[in-house]
Amino acid sequence: IDGLLTIEDLVEEIVGEIEDEHDLDDEPTWRVRTDGAIDVDARLEILHLEEVIGSFVSDEEREELDTLGGLVFSLAGRVPVRGELVKHSSGVEIEIVDADPRRVKHLRIHNLTSENYDPNLK
């Protein structure tokens, strides 16, 4: 949402940065598995993954969505549950590895067939 302002934003403008339990220090990560699938943090940007595996989302999806978690939510139409498999029209399958009722946390990307993708990449 553009233009959303929180009390925390206002306080941080006055007193400086506030670190709390909602702040995320670490960058979203990904790891290639021995079976060729990729384990990813759901916060990972779609564009970052596409740099590794090649393009797999449509221009419309790329324009509307930023993260893999957002893509999964959009495809499922809801927050999917742990163990669920969400299929993308490109053939890529996304398994929900970890989630809570409000958000998806970790994913496993299967069925990667792009000529740009090297499963031996670390």
Least confident of 53-57, 78-82, 107-111: 53-57
How many CA atoms lie less than 13 Å away from 84 in the CB half-sphere? 16
3-16 burial, b at 16+ Cβ within 10 Å, e below that, comes to eeeeeeeeeeeeee
Name the nearest CA neighbour of 117 among 70, 62, 49.
49
Q: Which CATH number fits domain 26-110: 3.30.930.10, 3.30.465.10, 3.90.1150.10, 1.10.730.10?
A: 3.30.465.10
**pTM of the entire structure?**
0.72
User: What was the pLDDT predicted at 8?
Assistant: 78
pLDDT exceeds 80 at position 112: no
